[in-house]
């Protein structure tokens, strides 16, 4: 008899593909933006969020919704973790150093960061551009970014790479990896003699007037005024600490909607600050939005890139931690939008719809959210497993003497032990990274795994006691 783990995984995939899409915005009016935000919050059980639309001309629309885990109403000044949206900030800081002659984008990283090394001689060929475009050759399956205990610092994270091989030749394949940007942050520290956060503040944040924005070294680092984000299932959200990990340069920025609006305007502009000071050349800003070599058109220098069926180029980035999600999108027509939330979900769908509506084109169809659909299914399977286990214990006297090559309770135990790595394959290679995120984002999967193991053991124990 086959193990139930593949069956469960297949069921999960089928259910995910049949998921119902998140409602989308279809107009750029404020009332429609408010309706879209409210619909997204209700569909994803998001306690607190804010969406901002910046049109090519006209007034900015800012729509906050809900409350933080501290009970305060969300406003344009509420801090949020923006996770991987922070990579674009690192990209600007690197490009500034390139324009100042401190580095070249095609320069080998070992020339700028002598402590950088991997367990592969090809590592000497990794360039700054390779790190920016995620074409370094490093792979998530080898790095395991959420390994526990977590590295103490960015320097320790870079030191770990000495034991990590390359999966491919540098510059030949795009594989998204937070560690690429941690290396860039350490390179910035080496070149400037300052912490990444201090340099980013003086070189990027302060000139843009982003006075409420900070860059943390740790994903879970406490920031004044920042309430905890949430994990949950079946509409119930619980405020919990963020997963411990290094976020230097790759996801540690904490900001507000008011500050991020200034950042969005800068990205839609020509590289100057509101007072006309040049922060970055217009050519470098365009290059950051342009897909880099080896990325198959998917990634620039801190920005993702997508081309729609009608030929529109979408410049975007999402951010996802265990307790916060975010998304930002730019349009070549000069419009942009971002969404910040304090819970799991797919805010990139909403950001895409808001930009499309502001551009006056059909909204981009949102993708499905398999997590949202899997939660009740997995919990239902757990409930059925409990019922089956109770029946199995009650019937133990009648089955105690039977001999079978493989019993259902034994398969349940094996299935429970295999379920977590099987579910983690839906998004990531089986690793601490996948399992840790699974615990935060799919708690009902953990519940089902525990119930399968406990129920199988209970039935097997009852039968053994009857035989004795």
Q: pLDDT tens, 242-256?
A: 989 999 999 999 999
Is residue 91 pLDDT above 80, yes or no? Answer: yes
- Mean pLDDT for 234-238 is 83
Q: Do the domain assignments include residue 198?
A: yes
Full domain range(s) for residue 388? 370-467
| Residue at which a domain ends, from 367, 391, 412 | 367
Q: Do the domain assignments include residue 7?
A: no
Q: Which token pair is 174? A: 């795009």
Q: How many domains does the chain have?
A: 2
Shared-domain flag, residues 358 and 374? no
Which of these ranges, 60-64, 104-108, 309-313, 430-434, has the smallest mean pLDDT? 430-434
Active-site residue, from 84, 150, 326, 331: 84
CA 270 centroid distance within chain: 28
Q: Do the domain assignments include residue 136?
A: yes
Quick check: is 407 catalytic? Answer: no
CATH (domain of 313): 3.40.710.10
pTM of the model: 0.79
Which of these ranges, 166-170, 218-222, 351-355, 406-410, has the smallest mean pLDDT? 406-410
Q: Round to whole Å and give the CA distance between 254 and 231.
A: 19
Spatial strand order in the sheet of 214-215? 80-81, 253-255, 214-215
The answer to whether the CB of 239 falls within 8 A of the CB of 68 is no
Shared-domain flag, residues 312 and 461? no
Shared-domain flag, residues 123 and 207? yes
The pLDDT tens digits for 307-325 are 877 777 899 999 999 899 9
Q: Do the domain assignments include residue 88?
A: yes
Q: Round to whole Å and give the CA distance between 171 and 111.
A: 17
pLDDT at 141: 86
Shared-domain flag, residues 143 and 189? yes
| Residue at which a domain ends, from 367, 383, 417 | 367
Shared-domain flag, residues 273 and 379? no
- Mean pLDDT for 200-222 is 97
pLDDT at 425: 57
């Amino acid at each position: 008899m086959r193990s139930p783990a593949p069956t469960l995984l297949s069921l999960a995939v089928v259910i995910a593909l049949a998921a119902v899409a998140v409602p989308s915005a279809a107009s750029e009016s404020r009332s429609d933006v408010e309706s879209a935000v409210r619909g997204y919050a209700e569909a994803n059980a998001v306690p607190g969020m804010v969406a901002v639309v910046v049109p090519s001309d006209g007034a900015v629309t800012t729509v906050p919704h809900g409350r933080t885990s501290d009970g305060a109403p969300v406003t344009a000044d509420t801090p949020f973790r923006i996770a991987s949206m922070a990579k674009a900030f690192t990209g600007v800081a690197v490009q500034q150093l390139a324009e100042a002659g401190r580095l070249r984008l095609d320069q080998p990283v070992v020339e700028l960061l002598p402590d950088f090394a991997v367990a592969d001689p090809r590592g000497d060929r990794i360039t700054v551009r390779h790190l920016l475009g995620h074409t370094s050759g490093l792979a998530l399956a080898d790095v395991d970014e959420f390994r526990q205990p977590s590295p103490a610092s960015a320097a320790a994270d870079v030191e770990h790479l000495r034991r990590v091989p390359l999966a491919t030749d540098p510059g030949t394949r795009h594989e998204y990896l937070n560690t690429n940007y941690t290396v860039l942050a350490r390179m910035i520290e080496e070149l400037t003699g300052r912490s990444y956060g201090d340099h980013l503040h003086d070189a990027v944040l302060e000139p843009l007037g982003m006075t409420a924005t900070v860059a943390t070294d740790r994903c879970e680092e406490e920031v004044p005024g920042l309430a905890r984000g949430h994990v949950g299932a079946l509409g119930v959200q619980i405020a919990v600490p963020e997963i411990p990990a290094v976020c230097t340069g790759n996801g540690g920025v904490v900001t507000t909607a008011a500050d991020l609006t200034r950042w969005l305007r800068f990205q839609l502009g020509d590289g100057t600050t509101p007072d006309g000071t040049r922060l970055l050349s217009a050519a470098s800003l365009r290059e950051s939005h342009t897909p880099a070599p080896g990325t198959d058109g998917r990634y620039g220098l801190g920005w993702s890139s997508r081309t729609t069926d009608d030929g529109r180029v979408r410049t975007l980035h999402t951010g996802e931690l265990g307790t916060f999600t975010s998304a930002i999108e730019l349009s070549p027509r000069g419009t942009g939008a971002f969404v910040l939330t304090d819970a799991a979900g797919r805010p990139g769908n909403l950001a895409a719809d808001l930009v499309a509506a502001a551009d006056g084109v059909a909204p981009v169809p949102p993708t499905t959210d398999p997590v949202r659909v899997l939660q009740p299914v997995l919990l239902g399977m757990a409930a059925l497993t409990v019922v089956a286990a109770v029946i199995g214990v009650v019937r133990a006297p009648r089955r105690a003497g039977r001999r079978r090559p493989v019993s259902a309770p034994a398969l349940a135990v094996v299935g429970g032990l295999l379920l977590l790595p099987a579910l983690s394959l839906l998004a990531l290679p089986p690793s601490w990274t996948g399992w840790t995120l699974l615990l935060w984002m799919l708690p009902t999967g953990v519940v089902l795994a525990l119930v399968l193991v406990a129920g199988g053991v209970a039935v097997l124990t009852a039968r053994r006691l009857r035989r004795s």
